[in-house]
Structure 1
């Protein structure tokens, strides 16, 4: 079930973020992981947050700003059961999501977005923080 995230759920969002990133961002150094971990809560206030609950437990969330999917994280224990697809589809259909930036080294995420109809239109050598993690800028459909 899709829900709108409330501030009180931020600690659970951080648990999901950490489990997800540990499972998918194996290319991150521990120092960089800790760096991003301190930043993530500041982003929560900048996006519309939606979550997915299974058996009354929050297991995934997405952050949307304008037409951009700014974040999509699924608890590592629930990966591969369609939660990401549900959240992304909801964002596309209800909030007009057409764009996403994804770490090039996160091959599973890149393939997921391709499967969902996104195409790469630009690549950067570094992320938004100037760190050596190339970013693929992707958009839905052909432009």
Structure 2
């Protein structure tokens, strides 16, 4: 598959939201229906339209994944589940390492502890658990693992 990584555009929001929904439905079975609905609304209405994201696109410029990056912290990384296992997530992390201009700073990410697939993915790439929080950033009862990669 031909893939490149570019900045997000306003026209990408609907496709990025579809990627987010499908990825979360495939990996976040621990979320309550109420929490999923609340997070979905926030992602659709506030996060995706405003965030400066990196987007992996296929040869026809169709988004297949996206990543939010704040300095050396991966805020979000979602890959279309139909594209899992093709190296897209790893390519996005490689891009993050370059885009962040780490200069010796560790790249970090927060991962839901119950999301075994994501925890395994990051561990496979060399991230290690550096801490844990009992609740997510919104105070919901979904523990986060704080992971870093040197």
Report the TM-score range of the alignment, normalised by the length of the smaller protein. Answer: over 0.9
Q: TM (normalized to structure 1)?
A: 0.92
Q: Aligned residues, how many?
A: 141
- Structure 2 gap ranges (5+): none
Q: How does 1:89-108 map to 2 (within 5 A)?
A: 89-95=94-100, 96=102, 98-108=107-117
For 1:136 and 1:48, how far apart are their aligned partners in 2?
Answer: 24
Q: Does 1:43 align with 2:52?
A: no
Question: Paired residue for 2:118?
Answer: 109
Among 33, 36, 39, the residue aligned to 2:36: 33
Question: Paired residue for 2:134?
Answer: 125
C-alpha displacement at 1:45, in angstroms? Answer: 5.6
Tell me if the contact between 1:47 and 1:70 (Cα under 8 Å) persists in the aligned partners. Answer: no
Q: C-alpha deviations, 1:72-128, integer Å up to 9, x for none?
A: 001111111111011111011222371100000001101111111111111011101
C-alpha displacement at 1:64, in angstroms? Answer: 0.6
- Structure 1 gap ranges (5+): none
Moved over 6 A (4+): none
Tell me if the contact between 2:8 and 2:53 (Cα under 8 Å) persists in the aligned partners. Answer: yes
The alignment partner of 1:55 has SS state of coil
Among 2, 5, 8, the residue aligned to 1:2: 5
Q: TM (normalized to structure 2)?
A: 0.88
Kindly report the root-mean-square deviation, in angstroms, between the aligned alpha carbons of the 2 structures: 1.4
Question: Paired residue for 1:88?
Answer: 93
